[in-house]
Amino acid sequence: MVRNILHKIFRYSVIIVLGTLVAPISLLAVNPPTSTYLSTISDGLSSPTRIAVGPDGNIYVTDPLKDRVLVYSPAGRWKYSAENFQGKPLSIALDAAGNIYIGDNRTKSVMVFDSSWAYLRKLGSGNGEFSLPGDIAISSSTGRIYVTDSKNNAVKIYNADGSLYISFGSLGAGSGQFEFPTGITIDDVNGEVWVSDQYNNRVQVFDLDGNYRSAIGSSQRIQGITVDSLGRVYVVDSFQGLVYVYDRNGIQLSTVGSWGTGTGQLSIPSDAVIDSNNRLLISSANSSAVVIYGIDNYTMPVDIYALTVSKSGAGSGTVVSSPAGIICGSSCGASYEAGTSVSLAATAAADSVFSGWSGACSGTGGCAISIDGDKGVTATFALETTPPVLTLNQPQPSVLTPPNGRIVAVAVSGKVTDSQSGLKTVSYAVDDEYNKYDSTGPVTTNSDGSFTFTVNLEASRNSKDVDGRIYTITVTAADNADNTSKGSVRVAVPRK
Amino acid sequence: MFISFKKIFVTVAWSSFIISMLAYPVYAADWPHRTTGNAWWCTNCHVTHNTTSGQFTKVKGNSNLCQSCHQSAGDAADKPMLDVHLAEPGTQGVSHRWDSGPGGYVTAALTNTSTGTVLSGVVGGQAGVFSGTVPRTYTITINSGGDVGTATFNWTWQDEGGTSQSGGTGISTGTDIPLIGEIKVTFVNGTTPSFNAGNTWTIKVRPQINFPSNIELAKRMFIGDGAPLDITDIDTRPDYLIPASTYGKASCSTCHNQHNQSNNPFDPFSPTTYTAGDTQDRHFQRINNEQNQLCLDCHSARNKGNDFSNADPDDDVRTWSGNKKSHPVGVDFPSTKPENAPLFHTVPKEPSSSLFNPSTDVSGKAVLGKATVATNTTCVTGDLRPAVNSNDLVGLVIYFISGAYQGTGMTVTSNTSTQICWATGNLDIAVDDKYIVDKDGNPSNNFRFANAGTVSFTGGTVYCMTCHGPHWADSNELTYDAP
């Protein structure tokens, strides 16, 4: 008797001590989240229902009324629409490998696709496995797939290979029973499964094997559910058009959004997920939108796009970007944040000429690109085949007389230009009919291409030279593409 | 032991009461608007104090309450009813609108930044005064921004097929501002400044729609975000007074009684008898509609006879010569072809017809079914309406009218009352895929007629649902106002 009393005293003392230690921990208050409306995705959406975020951050939204899944970048840019279902995709989840799980309300099945949307299998027995595959969640710790079978009042757990692991739940209001379970989420940190139990107006918590742990009260018509890193539970209320936020003990901390169709408002919201940027994505089926709120210290993802430069043509040259990133040449692609303005400059090689842009730019002038998607631009370089333009004036003097043998300075002038590759060399050559005063030499040009040079010629001829002595002065201009132009003038020592 | 007689009496009385309640449960709503579980309390949808909307619902917007279940992830996932379904005939949508009335409906431009709202109504209370024959669109554009009274607006109007007409410019925003065609607008402040310059709203109005005369319908016409109209003099029914400022819009519960399926449905496939709490598929109608009473209350202008002579301008039928009036409704399907009715089909070969050949024609009309089992075989399983016997349908064609195989036809090789099979070609049938077997091969028999019973349609009356479906109908295809 005494021993029993002492035993009880000891037992209760332990409980009190432990309770004293544990109670403050369990009562540790978690702050309500600070929610900030950020943006709305509406591009292509009709009745967005369930949302999933892939391992790459892309946002996947089911649109059952259009029988498709729409995929958006983390920043909300529409990427593509997956439509080849022959079904009515309702629920969705992605595993760590990027495999996509679609709950189809036409075939009453969950289809599994790889990240490229190649069909892999169906969960369990395939078609008819579910009455209404309301929501899907995947445990990152076990890899198992959890599906709420809403009209069967059950949660079914599948192994990663698609085989049924266990099923739990039945119609009722008791612990572990359901009446129209809708949303489901996994809290892998605490090893818990949270299930929206709609008509029982509560959220039930199970361990990863479906063993009942606890429940918290909720509002009616609850749908999607998610848990953040602080253990706060976000429950979507389709009826009241908002998201309730509870702590783990079921104390309501705050709400996010409000009923309506205005900016940031929700009309028949169906699901909510939190992405790695700490943003709460809420599907608003009746306003055809996904409404995004930032939670506490959220970050805003920015879309990164690729700019690729290609070169074509027989010529060669270099394209350089500002801001830096492309020197093409060697580096012909770079990534830029959405909204960046990138300028490209093309410089032709010595033997080439820049012919123009195609793709994201056109013309032959500058190329300025506003980055709002993946873009490509082609710079065309052609070989330069146009020779310099050379004109020569009449030499001064052009006639050497009398033929008295004196040496006369003859001025040769003209102009040479090359608008494409530019001048490389200008030279002259004197061809004396008597081969006595042959000479060559460079010609120096002024900035406008004009030039004047002087050659010394002898004013004499042979007495029998009936047509006089002829000096031929040839000017040769070569451009940087080695195209050449020649011109000649003559200086005569006449017979008289 | 002394036993109090009073205690015995009280115990017996309470026991009797409890037993009687168990034996004869009283439900607040009929199937399927209640479930087998215990969670369908009145407070799921209603609050008793501090309501933010009409009829004690918890959230503003009558339709919002319905849509919270009639959505793709809701309990009524197979009957979704979202705003994207709202029909703009010939353009988009698949459902009768639940946001419109005689004053039309207002759509704000997606690019609007104003927080204020625009309501449309009709002048003078009793509506239906816009007597045009084609739809009309009004466009409201804020001219200079500000709150109501400060902001000004311009407006234009355009009839379908017509050109845009100027209505007015620089008009002060306010209440009950008349536009042409007896339409009026009211501007409601939001957050200052409520209206921003350049923002636009369109008001789309269908012609000849009346404010309902039935009090059950009329008092469920809503204003703005969900408050019901304040119908006065309600006890003097039917001569109740509609408010002079009529901004009433129909909503789900205008036409549907979400609690009760007792009223006679339009659907000949619905159960003909009603048992409180249990009967399904009678469409929760607010009033009887087996003779289109519900439809014609608002659409009375469409209630035309078959006066082909056009002697009576109020009773002439729609022709393609430009009168753009109405196809005849409320007309008995004749037993013989009317001499002056070239548009009518020949008399269908129903069992009562002299043309009916029992050896070749199966009695009845079409058999409808909905798959109850998902299969990937050469059979579909689901109860048939009306019931058939084994092999009744052999040799006929089963057509799928919903799901992945919509439009697909297979020749029936065998059937029971719950299963129809064909020879080859597996189909990946999903639950709820609908199908039809047209028994007599006469398409005219596939229309629904009032007063025709559930099997034979001979001698029925042409009514709205003969040609129109109120929900999930196909109004996406362009329609043409010509043959």
Torsion-angle region of B272 (φ positive above 0: left; ψ -120 to 50: alpha; else: beta): alpha
Predicted confidence band of residue A481 (pLDDT cuts 50, 70, 90): confident
Contact list in A for residue B84 (CB cut-off 8 A) is 46-47, 65, 288
Higher pLDDT, A185 or B365: A185
The pLDDT of residue B197: 97
Same-domain check for residues B74 and B120: no
Structure tokens at A370: 């506003």
Domain covering A30-295, topology: Neuraminidase (2.120.10)
Same-domain check for residues B104 and B216: yes
Q: Which residue of A has its CA nearest to B434?
A: A106
Same-domain check for residues B62 and B193: no
Place of tokens 């992945």: B404
CB atoms within 10 A of CB B355: 11
The pLDDT of residue A7: 56
Going B395 to B398 to B399 to B403, the CA torsion angle's sign is negative
Q: Give mean pLDDT, residues A129-148.
A: 97
Higher pLDDT, A10 or A221: A221
DSSP-based three-state secondary structure for A16: helix
Residue B456 has pLDDT above 90, yes or no: no
Contact list in A for residue B115 (CB cut-off 8 A) is 262
Determine if the peptide bond prior to A402 is cis (ω within 30°).
yes
Dist. CA B37–CA B44, nearest whole Å: 13
Q: pTM surpassing 0.90?
A: no
- Longest Cα–Cα distance of chain A, Å, equals 160
The pLDDT of residue B436: 80
Torsion-angle region of A419 (φ positive above 0: left; ψ -120 to 50: alpha; else: beta): alpha
At B212, which amino acid appears?
P
Same-domain check for residues B106 and B251: yes
- Phi/psi of residue A25, nearest 5 degrees: -65, -45
CB atoms within 10 A of CB B359: 4
Give the pairing of strands A51-53 and A375-383.
unpaired
Contact list in B for residue A91 (CB cut-off 8 A) is 73
Place of tokens 């995004």: A292
CB contact under 8 A, B64 and A180: no
Same-domain check for residues B101 and B35: no
Contact list in B for residue A50 (CB cut-off 8 A) is 73
Structural contact between residues A455 and A358, judged by C-beta atoms closer than 8 angstroms: no
Higher pLDDT, B203 or B479: B203
pLDDT in tens, B277-292: 778 888 999 999 887 8
Same-domain check for residues B107 and B248: yes
DSSP for B21-67 reads: HHHS---SS-TTSS-SSS---GGGTB-SSS-SSGGGBSSS-HHHHHH
Predicted confidence band of residue A96 (pLDDT cuts 50, 70, 90): very high
pLDDT in tens, B239-253: 666 666 678 888 898
Residue B233 has pLDDT above 90, yes or no: no
Structural contact between residues A346 and A356, judged by C-beta atoms closer than 8 angstroms: no
Residue B23 lies inside a defined structural domain of this protein? no
Same-domain check for residues B380 and B415: yes
DSSP-based three-state secondary structure for A170: coil
The pLDDT of residue B348: 40
Task: Calculate ∠ Cα B263-B265-B270, nearest 5°.
Answer: 115
Q: Give mean pLDDT, residues B126-145.
A: 76
Dist. CA B367–CA B386, nearest whole Å: 6
Task: Calculate ∠ Cα B168-B174-B180, nearest 5°.
Answer: 40
Could you give the percent of chain B with pLDDT greater than 70? Answer: 61
CB contact under 8 A, A238 and B80: no
**With an 8 Å Cβ cutoff, is B230 touching chain A?**
no
The pLDDT of residue B346: 36
Q: Give mean pLDDT, residues B60-72.
A: 85
Q: Give mean pLDDT, residues B45-65.
A: 63
CB atoms within 10 A of CB A459: 19
Residue A235 has pLDDT above 50, yes or no: yes
The Cα-based distances of B302 to B128, B251, B340, B472 in angstroms read: 12, 21, 21, 21
CA dihedral A137, A140, A144, A149 (to 10 degrees): -10
In A95-180, the DSSP E strands lie at 100-104, 109-113, 119-122, 133-138, 145-149, 154-158, 164-168
Higher pLDDT, B162 or B198: B198
- Listed residue (B281, B296, B301, B317) closest to B206, CA to CA: B301
- Phi/psi of residue A295, nearest 5 degrees: -110, 125
Q: Give mean pLDDT, residues B250-270.
A: 86
Question: Which helix (H) or strand (E) element contains residue A308?
Answer: strand A304-312
Residue B315 lies inside a defined structural domain of this protein? no
- DSSP type of residue B166: E
The pLDDT of residue B162: 87
The pLDDT of residue B361: 42
Structure tokens at A249: 């003990």
Q: What does the buried/exposed string (b/e) look like for A82-116 if buried means 16 or more CB atoms within 10 Å of the residue's CB? A: beebebbbbbbbbbeeebbbbbbbbbbbbbbbeee
pLDDT in tens, A14-65: 444 444 444 444 445 799 999 999 999 999 999 999 999 999 999 999 999 9
At A390, which amino acid appears?
L
A489 strand-pairing partners:
A473
Q: Give mean pLDDT, residues A432-442.
A: 93
Same-domain check for residues B68 and B52: yes
Q: How far is A163 from chain B (nearest CA, A)?
A: 19
Residue A188 has pLDDT above 70, yes or no: yes
Residue B19 lies inside a defined structural domain of this protein? no
- Listed residue (A386, A393, A453) closest to A423, CA to CA: A386
Interface mutation vs chain A, best among B82, B92, B199, B379, most A CBs within 10 Å: B82
Dist. CA B221–CA B211, nearest whole Å: 9
The pLDDT of residue B33: 78
The pLDDT of residue B468: 79
The pLDDT of residue A271: 98
Residue B450 lies inside a defined structural domain of this protein? no
The Cα-based distances of B247 to A102, B66, B157, B237 in angstroms read: 44, 22, 19, 21
Structural contact between residues A452 and A415, judged by C-beta atoms closer than 8 angstroms: no
Give the pairing of strands A154-158 and A145-149.
antiparallel
Same-domain check for residues B126 and B238: yes
Average pLDDT in chain B: 74
At A242, which amino acid appears?
L
Contact map slice: A 190-249 vs B, CB within 8 A? 198-201, 220-221, 223-224, 238-241
Dist. CA A16–CA A10, nearest whole Å: 10
Q: Which residue of B has its CA nearest to A103?
A: B73
Q: How far is A240 from chain B (nearest CA, A)?
A: 6
Q: Which residue of B has its CA nearest to A288?
A: B84
The pLDDT of residue A28: 55
- State the number of CA atoms in the 13 A half-sphere of B67 facing the CB: 30
pLDDT in tens, A253-280: 999 999 888 889 999 999 999 999 999 9
Q: Spell out the domain ranges in chain A.
A: 30-295, 304-383, 389-493
* Ranges A301-305, B47-51, B464-468: which has the least confidence: B47-51
Determine if the peptide bond prior to A33 is cis (ω within 30°).
no
- DSSP type of residue A21: H
Of the candidates B74, B91, B108, which is a domain's last residue? B91
Residue B224 lies inside a defined structural domain of this protein? yes
pLDDT in tens, A438-475: 999 999 999 999 999 999 999 999 988 888 999 999 99
Contact list in A for residue B82 (CB cut-off 8 A) is 47, 65, 268, 285-286
Higher pLDDT, B103 or B201: B201
pLDDT in tens, B390-403: 888 888 888 887 78
Domain residues for B377? 366-438
Could you give the percent of chain A with pLDDT greater than 90? Answer: 81
- ipTM score here? 0.74
Same-domain check for residues B79 and B107: no
**With an 8 Å Cβ cutoff, is A478 touching chain B?**
no
Interface mutation vs chain B, best among A68, A268, A287, most B CBs within 10 Å: A268
- State the number of CA atoms in the 13 A half-sphere of A226 facing the CB: 23
The pLDDT of residue B180: 85
The domain tally of chain B equals: 3
Q: Find the CB nearest B59 among A150, A241, A285.
A: A241
**With an 8 Å Cβ cutoff, is B375 touching chain A?**
yes
Using CB atoms within 10 A of its CB, is residue B357 exposed (0-12), middle (13-18) or buried (19+)?
Answer: exposed
Predicted confidence band of residue B388 (pLDDT cuts 50, 70, 90): confident
Determine if the peptide bond prior to B102 is cis (ω within 30°).
no
* Superfamily of the domain at A389-493: Carbohydrate binding type-21 domain (2.60.40.2440)
Q: Find the CB nearest A106 among B40, B75, B403.
A: B403
Same-domain check for residues B148 and B74: no
- Listed residue (B176, B175, B174, B157) closest to B166, CA to CA: B157
Q: Give mean pLDDT, residues B209-229.
A: 78
Residue B394 lies inside a defined structural domain of this protein? yes
Residue B9 lies inside a defined structural domain of this protein? no
Torsion-angle region of A260 (φ positive above 0: left; ψ -120 to 50: alpha; else: beta): left
- Phi/psi of residue B295, nearest 5 degrees: -65, -45
Using CB atoms within 10 A of its CB, is residue B378 exposed (0-12), middle (13-18) or buried (19+)?
Answer: middle
Contact list in B for residue A119 (CB cut-off 8 A) is none
Structural contact between residues A195 and A184, judged by C-beta atoms closer than 8 angstroms: yes
Same-domain check for residues B77 and B155: no
Interface mutation vs chain A, best among B71, B79, B373, most A CBs within 10 Å: B71
At A426, which amino acid appears?
V
DSSP-based three-state secondary structure for A436: coil
Structural contact between residues A342 and A368, judged by C-beta atoms closer than 8 angstroms: yes
- Listed residue (B248, B250, B230, B217) closest to B119, CA to CA: B248
- Phi/psi of residue B252, nearest 5 degrees: -55, -50
